[in-house]
């Protein structure tokens, strides 16, 4: 019999116990995977967004719009390649489904976000159609929008000149992302800012929530941000400029202390799990003391006996961990599909990596004490004790 | 039968200290489940009670039609003056309608524990009647703001979570400086806000009108009268709602989200705890195989054995639940946190571990203990007496 065969055979010595332990490891890693992926949403922010873009908002808060007349000043800042802007529309689809929807300058946005892929003709159509609208592939698919359709959308903020909040736009383009990460960010809808600015009823004229600066060199992002903020200091339109990545993190962090709660839950789960599996391992070693003594009598070294116990713990944690994380992936994908990408519960590489680390750490934590006990075992005592 | 069950249970429980490790697994497992469950729902309960305390039943909140939240709402000065004259609004001691047209703006403050990222805070520009409409609001340090000056009073929730808004500090907004002259307590969502004079806010933020009007209602039919008057006035397109309904409505989504999270987490963790409990109880039964067989041999029947094992599992589970509830209470009760509210600004609230939540936690523990004890109990009762006696 090979050594690994021996380890597996030992695991199935008490089938009920092994299966039950395995099941608790699986549930723990299922939770670990789900919670950790929620946690990544809150803590890390998207690395792939990079620092090539700066977001300029009003210092007081991004809900106070800035005048679009700032545009030439921003364009003159050294290191800025192209400037665009976007204004929150407060779009609502059908009864009560909020949309991530902005009014923008089409061609400027095209230059600033090369990560969004759309045929050149559709960009032109967007620029040339006053009531034009483009939608990310994800939204378009979820609500069944087709090119050329008129899409009725209401705004929970802006009425039109006639007082009605029911707007209607022509869908002239559907954009996709250049890679997996950007494909996930196609849950956005854009309309023309010129049309919005003219057609809406009140005091927003010539203003926008955000300017987006595309930089020539991402290494100078911090310095450029400081230059911009210094330009408008002490004016009514003081600015706060940060990299797109920092902006996204701040935005998500607004949801507050959920990250903290998630960490507490993770801690509770792992502590519980450690006890369960640890206890099982200890028990299984206790029961097998005579057998271990026999192994030692046969000439197995102290170290290889320790190895057997550790390997057993590792096998349990590995099998349970892999199954649990796979289940979490599956569940996450289902949530993502069910919410049409609004809630992206995706188990990315970093979650798997952390999971792998947790598997290794757990194996050591639960296997070490019983393993050391097995190694210390003196043959005479063990055999006599029986 | 009963005395038999009691006798065996007594023996079992007295022997728990000898097998403390597997018993501890049940206790800790259940403590984990109950602590997580209680903590999550205590968060929802705290948020709910903060918002529910905010709204009164004898006041109406008026927003522009279809805006859902104050942040999205805006109307000009004419509409504001017009609506205050509508019937259904109570007249104050000074002969004027008891109503406050308020302007909601958002400022950014920095969290105490995170210097880099700003969080949105409501700045509410209020008219003098605002204080009569919210009698629960008390200045607890400093003084009230002086109308016409750039002065702020700050809710104590803001002070707890964010920095830069202490008494005497200066906050910069739109190129101007605002001094914090007072701190107030109200026991509700307003504690997460900063208040100032509506007219000063209007001129600083170049906004002419208001976001909302809060009006005291005149008698029980005040709301109905106000609603029909607004509906009949072609110059006004507004939503009129009871103030309390507006705030309770905001908790629905949060309660749903947290309820869902708590449900999923508790279910998965609960399953894990069931497996752990099964494991431990099987082990406990196996360890006592000889003892049980002896009892059976001297005339004890199967049922008392089942009952005794179940009782042991239940007691351990309940012990765990109590421990878990205590841990949740010690760590989380009155913990102050904040999250995004309807207006895209922070709402500061405290966790509330309520007796009702503790009871629900205990029920969960009993269910898990029953499941975890039943199968092992069955096995114990079915152990063939002769083999068990011969074994080990």
H-type alpha helices, chain B: 2-15, 20-54, 77-84, 129-133, 156-161, 198-204, 222-232, 243-287, 289-297, 302-332, 355-382, 385-390
C-alpha dihedral sign at B74, B76, B79, B83: positive
**Chain A residues with CB-CB distance to B280 below 8 A:** 279
Does position B18 have pLDDT exceeding 80, yes or no? no
A284-288, B72-76, B187-191, B202-206: which has the minimum mean pLDDT?
A284-288
Say if the Cβ atoms of A203 and B175 lie within 8 Å. Answer: no
Q: Which of B327, B300, B322 is nearest to B369 (CA)?
A: B322
pLDDT at A81: 93
Enumerate residues 7 to 46 of chain A having a beta carbon within 8 A of any beta carbon in chain B: 16-17, 20-21, 23-24, 27-28, 30-31, 34-35
Contacting residues for A363 by C-beta, under 8 A, at least 6 apart: A310, A313, A314, A316, A317, A318
pLDDT at A45: 54
pLDDT at A267: 81
Q: Are B123 and B345 in contact (CB under 8 A)?
A: no
Q: Are A210 and A86 in contact (CB under 8 A)?
A: yes
Q: Are B339 and A257 in contact (CB under 8 A)?
A: yes
**Chain A residues with CB-CB distance to B66 below 8 A:** 154, 156, 165
pLDDT at B391: 65
DSSP code of residue B272: H
Does position B326 have pLDDT exceeding 60, yes or no? yes
Enumerate residues 52 to 111 of chain A having a beta carbon within 8 A of any beta carbon in chain B: 58-61, 63-64, 90
Is A160 part of the contact surface with chain B (CB cutoff 8 Å)? no
Is B132 part of the contact surface with chain A (CB cutoff 8 Å)? no
Q: Which of B221, B199, B219 is nearest to B209 (CA)?
A: B199
Report the length, in residues, of chain B: 392
**Chain A residues with CB-CB distance to B40 below 8 A:** 261, 265
Enumerate residues 243 to 272 of chain B having a beta carbon within 8 A of any beta carbon in chain A: 264-265, 268-269, 271-272
Is B333 part of the contact surface with chain A (CB cutoff 8 Å)? no
**Chain B residues with CB-CB distance to A24 below 8 A:** 272-273, 275-276, 279
Give me the residue from A17, A30, A61 closest to B106, CB to CB: A61
Does position A37 have pLDDT exceeding 90, yes or no? no
Q: If pLDDT is split at 50, 70 and 90, which confidence band does B150 have?
A: very high
| pLDDT per position as a tens digit, B359-376 | 999 999 999 999 999 999
Say if the Cβ atoms of B32 and A269 lie within 8 Å. Answer: yes
Does position B7 have pLDDT exceeding 90, yes or no? no
d(CA A34, CA A43): 14
Does position B343 have pLDDT exceeding 80, yes or no? yes
pLDDT at B318: 94
Say if the Cβ atoms of A20 and B283 lie within 8 Å. Answer: no
Say if the Cβ atoms of B283 and A273 lie within 8 Å. Answer: no
Break chain B into its structural domains and give their ranges: 2-53+249-390, 66-236
| pLDDT per position as a tens digit, B212-240 | 999 999 989 999 999 999 999 888 888 99
Question: Best residue in B276, B317, B324 to probe A by mutation, most A CBs within 10 Å?
Answer: B276
Question: Best residue in B121, B260, B269 to probe A by mutation, most A CBs within 10 Å?
Answer: B269
Q: What does the block give as tokens for B336?
A: 């102050």
Q: What are phi and psi of B315, to 5 degrees?
A: -60, -45
Average pLDDT, chain A: 86
pLDDT at B315: 92
pLDDT at A46: 59
Say if the Cβ atoms of B269 and A59 lie within 8 Å. Answer: no
**Chain A residues with CB-CB distance to B114 below 8 A:** 253
Does position B178 have pLDDT exceeding 90, yes or no? yes
C-alpha angle A374-A377-A380 in degrees, rounded to nearest 5: 145
| pLDDT per position as a tens digit, B59-106 | 999 998 877 888 888 888 888 999 999 999 999 888 899 999 999 999
pLDDT at A170: 95
Q: Which of A271, A45, A223 is nearest to B27 (CA)?
A: A271
Say if the Cβ atoms of A203 and B207 lie within 8 Å. Answer: yes
Q: Give percent of chain B above pLDDT 90.
A: 47
pLDDT at A42: 67
| pLDDT per position as a tens digit, A289-347 | 888 888 888 888 888 888 888 898 899 999 999 999 999 999 888 877 766 555 667 77
Enumerate residues 148 to 207 of chain B having a beta carbon within 8 A of any beta carbon in chain A: 172-175, 205-207
Q: Which of B266, B265, B275 is nearest to B361 (CA)?
A: B266
Which helix (H) or strand (E) segment is A98 a member of? strand A97-98
Question: Best residue in B112, B116, B279, B340 to probe A by mutation, most A CBs within 10 Å?
Answer: B279
Choose the most confident range, by mean pLDDT, from A224-228, A371-375, B68-72. A224-228
d(CA B106, CA B112): 18
B99-111/B162-163 β-pairing: antiparallel
Give me the residue from B21, B116, B275 closest to A279, CB to CB: B21
Is B378 part of the contact surface with chain A (CB cutoff 8 Å)? no
Across residues B108-130, what is the average pLDDT? 88
Give me the residue from A24, A31, A253 closest to B276, CB to CB: A24
User: Dihedral through CA A291, CA A297, CA A301, CA A307, nearest 10?
Assistant: -10
Q: Which of A216, A183, A243 is nearest to A54 (CA)?
A: A243
Say if the Cβ atoms of B108 and A60 lie within 8 Å. Answer: yes
Q: Beta partners for B214?
A: B61, B100
Distances (CA, A) of A77 to A68, A73, A82, B214: 16, 7, 10, 46
Average pLDDT, chain B: 89
Give me the residue from A63, A165, A238 closest to B66, CB to CB: A165
Question: A70: number of CA atoms within 13 Å, CB side?
Answer: 28
A44-58, A162-176, B147-161, B279-293: which has the minimum mean pLDDT?
A44-58
H-type alpha helices, chain A: 3-11, 15-43, 71-75, 106-112, 120-128, 137-143, 180-183, 193-199, 221-231, 244-253, 258-287, 289-297, 302-338, 349-376, 379-385
Q: What does the block give as tokens for A162?
A: 């006639």
Question: Best residue in A63, A200, A201 to probe B by mutation, most B CBs within 10 Å?
Answer: A63
Collapsing DSSP states into helix, strand and coil, what is residue B162? strand
ipTM over 0.85: no
C-alpha dihedral sign at B44, B50, B56, B61: negative
Q: What does the block give as tokens for A272?
A: 């519980």
- Looking at the complex, report in whole angstroms how far the Cα of residue B233 sits from the nearest Cα belonging to chain A: 15
Across residues A11-33, what is the average pLDDT? 87
Say if the Cβ atoms of B174 and A58 lie within 8 Å. Answer: yes
pLDDT at A111: 94
Helix A244-253 crosses helix A15-43 at what angle (to 10 degrees)?
120
**Chain B residues with CB-CB distance to A369 below 8 A:** none
Say if the Cβ atoms of B105 and A63 lie within 8 Å. Answer: yes
Q: If pLDDT is split at 50, 70 and 90, which confidence band does A50 have?
A: low
Give me the residue from B68, B172, B283 closest to A156, CB to CB: B68
pLDDT at A289: 81
Across residues B21-44, what is the average pLDDT? 88
Does position B347 have pLDDT exceeding 60, yes or no? yes
| pLDDT per position as a tens digit, A171-210 | 999 999 998 878 888 889 999 999 999 888 765 678 899 9
Nearest residue of B to residue A235, measured between CA atoms: B175
**Chain A residues with CB-CB distance to B346 below 8 A:** 254, 256
pLDDT at A171: 96
Nearest residue of B to residue A204, measured between CA atoms: B207
Question: Best residue in A43, A97, A246, A265 to probe B by mutation, most B CBs within 10 Å?
Answer: A265
Q: What does the block give as tokens for B44?
A: 């929802």
Say if the Cβ atoms of A256 and B346 lie within 8 Å. Answer: yes
Does position A9 have pLDDT exceeding 90, yes or no? no
**Chain A residues with CB-CB distance to B339 below 8 A:** 255-258
Enumerate residues 30 to 89 of chain B having a beta carbon within 8 A of any beta carbon in chain A: 31-33, 35-36, 39-40, 43, 65-69, 71-72, 74
Q: Give percent of chain A above pLDDT 70.
A: 93
Q: Are A87 and A102 in contact (CB under 8 A)?
A: yes
d(CA A161, CA B264): 47
- Looking at the complex, report in whole angstroms how far the Cα of residue A323 sits from the nearest Cα belonging to chain B: 14
| pLDDT per position as a tens digit, B286-301 | 878 888 888 888 888 8
Q: Which of A315, A270, A287, A285 is nearest to A22 (CA)?
A: A315
pLDDT at A1: 60
CA B293 to mean position of chain CA atoms: 51
pLDDT at B101: 95
Enumerate residues 284 to 323 of chain B having a beta carbon within 8 A of any beta carbon in chain A: none
Label residue A335 left, alpha or beta by phi (over 0 means left) and psi (-120 to 50 means alpha). alpha
CA A352 to mean position of chain CA atoms: 13
């Amino acid at each position: 019999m090979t050594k690994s065969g021996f380890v597996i055979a030992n695991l199935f010595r008490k089938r009920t116990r092994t299966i039950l332990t395995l099941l608790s490891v699986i549930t723990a890693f299922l939770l670990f995977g789900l919670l950790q992926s929620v946690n990544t949403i809150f803590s890390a922010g998207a690395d792939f967004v990079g620092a090539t873009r700066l977001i300029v908002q009003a210092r007081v808060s991004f809900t106070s719009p800035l005048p679009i007349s700032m545009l030439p000043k921003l364009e003159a800042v050294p290191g800025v390649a192209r400037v665009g802007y976007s204004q929150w529309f407060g779009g609502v689809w059908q009864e009560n489904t909020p949309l991530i929807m902005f009014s923008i300058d089409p061609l400027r946005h095209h230059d600033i976000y090369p990560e969004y892929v759309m045929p050149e003709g559709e960009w032109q159509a967007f620029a040339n159609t006053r009531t034009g609208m483009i939608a990310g592939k994800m939204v378009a698919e979820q609500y069944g929008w087709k090119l050329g359709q008129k899409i009725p959308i209401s705004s929970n903020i802006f009425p039109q000149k006639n007082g009605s909040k029911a707007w209607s736009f022509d869908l002239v383009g559907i954009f996709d992302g250049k890679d997996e990460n950007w494909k996930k960010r196609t849950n956005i809808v854009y309309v023309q800012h010129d049309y919005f600015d003219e057609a809406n009823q009140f005091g927003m004229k010539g203003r926008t929530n955000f300017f987006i600066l595309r930089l020539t060199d991402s290494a100078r992002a911090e310095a450029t941000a400081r230059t911009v903020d210094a330009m408008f200091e002490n004016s009514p339109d003081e600015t706060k400029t940060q990299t797109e990545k920092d902006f996204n993190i701040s935005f998500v962090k607004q949801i507050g202390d959920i990250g903290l709660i998630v960490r507490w839950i993770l801690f509770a789960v792992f502590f519980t799990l450690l006890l369960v599996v640890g206890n099982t391992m200890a028990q299984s070693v206790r029961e097998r003391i005579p057998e271990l003594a026999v192994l030692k009598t046969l000439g197995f070294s102290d170290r290889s006996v320790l190895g057997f116990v550790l390997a057993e713990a590792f096998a349990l944690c590995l099998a349970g961990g892999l199954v649990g994380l796979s289940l979490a992936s599956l569940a996450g994908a289902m949530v993502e599909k069910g919410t049409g990408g609004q809630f992206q519960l995706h188990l990315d590489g970093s979650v798997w990596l952390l999971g792998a680390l947790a598997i290794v750490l757990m194996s050591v934590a639960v296997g070490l004490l019983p393993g050391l006990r097995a190694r210390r075992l003196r043959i005479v005592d063990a055999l006599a004790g029986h | 039968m009963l005395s038999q069950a009691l006798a065996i249970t007594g023996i079992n429980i007295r022997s728990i200290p000898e097998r403390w490790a597997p018993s501890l697994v049940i206790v800790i497992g259940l403590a984990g489940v109950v602590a997580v469950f209680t903590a999550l729902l205590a968060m929802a309960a705290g948020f709910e009670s903060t918002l529910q305390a905010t709204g009164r039943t004898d006041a109406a909140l008026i927003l522009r039609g279809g805006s859902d939240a104050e942040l999205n709402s805006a109307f000009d000065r004419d509409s504001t003056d017009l609506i205050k004259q509508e019937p259904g609004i109570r007249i104050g001691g000074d002969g004027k309608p008891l109503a406050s047209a308020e302007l909601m703006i958002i400022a950014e403050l920095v969290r105490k524990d995170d210097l880099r990222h700003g969080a949105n805070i409501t700045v509410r520009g209020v008219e003098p009647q605002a204080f009569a409409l919210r009698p629960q609001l008390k200045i607890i340090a400093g003084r009230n703001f002086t109308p016409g000056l750039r002065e702020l009073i700050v809710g104590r929730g803001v002070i707890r979570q964010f920095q830069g808004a202490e008494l005497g500090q200066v906050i910069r907004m739109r190129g101007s400086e605002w001094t914090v002259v007072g701190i107030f307590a109200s026991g509700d969502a307003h504690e997460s806000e900063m208040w100032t004079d509506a007219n000063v806010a209007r001129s600083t933020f170049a906004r002419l009108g208001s976001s909302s009007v809060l009006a005291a209602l005149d008698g029980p039919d005040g709301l109905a009268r106000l609603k029909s008057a607004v509906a009949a006035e072609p110059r006004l397109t507004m939503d009129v709602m009871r103030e309390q309904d507006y705030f309770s409505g905001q908790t629905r989504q949060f309660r749903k989200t947290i309820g869902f999270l708590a449900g999923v987490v508790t279910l998965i963790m609960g399953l894990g705890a069931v497996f752990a409990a099964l494991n431990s109880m099987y082990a406990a039964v196996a360890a006592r195989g000889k003892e049980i067989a002896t009892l059976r041999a001297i005339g004890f029947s199967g049922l008392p054995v089942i009952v005794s094992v179940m009782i042991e599992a239940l007691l351990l589970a309940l012990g765990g639940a109590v421990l878990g509830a205590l841990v949740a209470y010690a760590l989380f009760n009155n913990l102050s946190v904040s999250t995004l509210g309807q207006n895209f600004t922070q709402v500061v609230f405290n966790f509330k571990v309520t007796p009702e939540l503790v009871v629900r936690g205990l029920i969960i523990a009993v269910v898990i203990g029953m499941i975890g004890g039943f199968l092992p109990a069955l096995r114990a009762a079915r152990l063939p007496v002769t083999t068990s006696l011969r074994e080990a």
